[in-house]
Amino acid sequence: MATDRTVEFAASIADEWEGDVILANPVVRPSGTQFDGSDDLLDEHQKTAERALKTTLGPNTGVETRGTARVGRSLPSIVGEVSQDCSAGAVVIDDPGSATRSNPLGRNVPARLACSVDCDVLTVGGSHASKTISSVLVPVSGGPHSGLAVDVARYVAQAHGAWVELLHVIETGADERRRDDAEEYVSAARDRLGEFDDFDTWVLEADDATDAIIEQSKYYDMTVMGAPQKGRLREFVFGSTIGEVRSSAHNTVVTVERPHERDSLLGRWL
């Protein structure tokens, strides 16, 4: 079941969306094992979810909450069923870091979940959990979910009264065309924030973008990134970058994805 950090993040997003938080406690029964869907089992797991909500959010939370429990053959199938039944606008999942690293033989957990739902998938991870959120780092690019990343960063910032930093990293000694592209990315991200004005933009030169993002994460409470482009090879290459950021960053790392739709900052995307 989700950690306190993930539940709190979900509550902040739900508050901005004027939605509810539904904490699902999955009971996975793989093939070959007894499928126990008894009422007693589900009641026990539902009560566990409800207690977790009360403990994490307290009685005075500004959003409606409820716990539920489902039994299924896999986590993606359970999440897909619950999200469909609830007409969810987003699924927020907890990922401990290692599970986010793609490998060439199989897709990572968030990617598998994204195939089973028709809503946004927001994955919360990172090895360091900040107790408060006063600043949010958003590495912006032309990726397919870059626009959604800026949106989510704005929701978090509005919920916590936080500052947003829009960062684009270019290679050291980049040519004029590459610098123009960088300015276009941060300009598009700035426009995406709309009337939200607690932000700054920055084009950073560095030898390695991943190392630069990890280094900058020291100075922010959360990093929000768009998930990589679909396609096994590109997902392996760029997904491993996200995995490195999540495992090595000095803050909470949120990756976002809109499974069946592109939401890029630019019409052309990488």
**Out of 62-76, 81-95, 101-115, 244-258, least confident range:** 101-115
Do 156 and 191 contact (CB within 8 A), yes or no? no
Between the two ends of the chain, the Cα-to-Cα distance in Å is 34
DSSP string, 88-143: -SEEEEE--SGGGS-BTTB--HHHHHHTT-SSEEEEEE-S---SS--EEEEE--S-
Do 62 and 87 contact (CB within 8 A), yes or no? no
What percent of the chain stands above pLDDT 90?
Answer: 61
Crossing angle (nearest 10°) for helices 209-216 and 232-248: 30
- Look at the block and give the residue holding tokens 């907890």: 94
pLDDT digits (tens, 9 = 90+) for 128-140: 888 889 999 999 9
Q: Does domain 108-270 have CATH number 3.40.50.12370?
A: yes
Q: Cα dist. 137→102, 158, 159, 227 in Å? A: 23, 14, 15, 15
DSSP string, 42-72: HHHHHHHHHHHHHHHH-TT-SS-EEEEEEEE
Range with the largest mean pLDDT of 38-47, 129-138, 236-245, 259-268: 129-138
Each domain of the chain, given as residue ranges in start order, spans 1-88, 108-270
Token pair listed for 167: 């960062």
Looking at residues 94-117, what average pLDDT do you find? 60
Token pair listed for 87: 């007409």
The contacts of residue 3 (CB under 8 Å, 6+ apart) are 94, 124
DSSP 8-state secondary structure symbol assigned to residue 149: H
pLDDT digits (tens, 9 = 90+) for 191-242: 999 999 999 999 999 999 999 999 999 999 999 999 876 544 344 334 467 7
Backbone phi and psi for residue 135, each to the nearest 5 degrees, phi listed first:
-150, 145
**Out of 18-27, 54-63, 132-141, least confident range:** 54-63
Instruction: Give the residue from 159, 140, 136, 155 showing the smallest Cα distance to 220.
Output: 136
Do 128 and 222 contact (CB within 8 A), yes or no? no
The contacts of residue 13 (CB under 8 Å, 6+ apart) are 19, 90, 92, 122, 152, 155, 156, 159
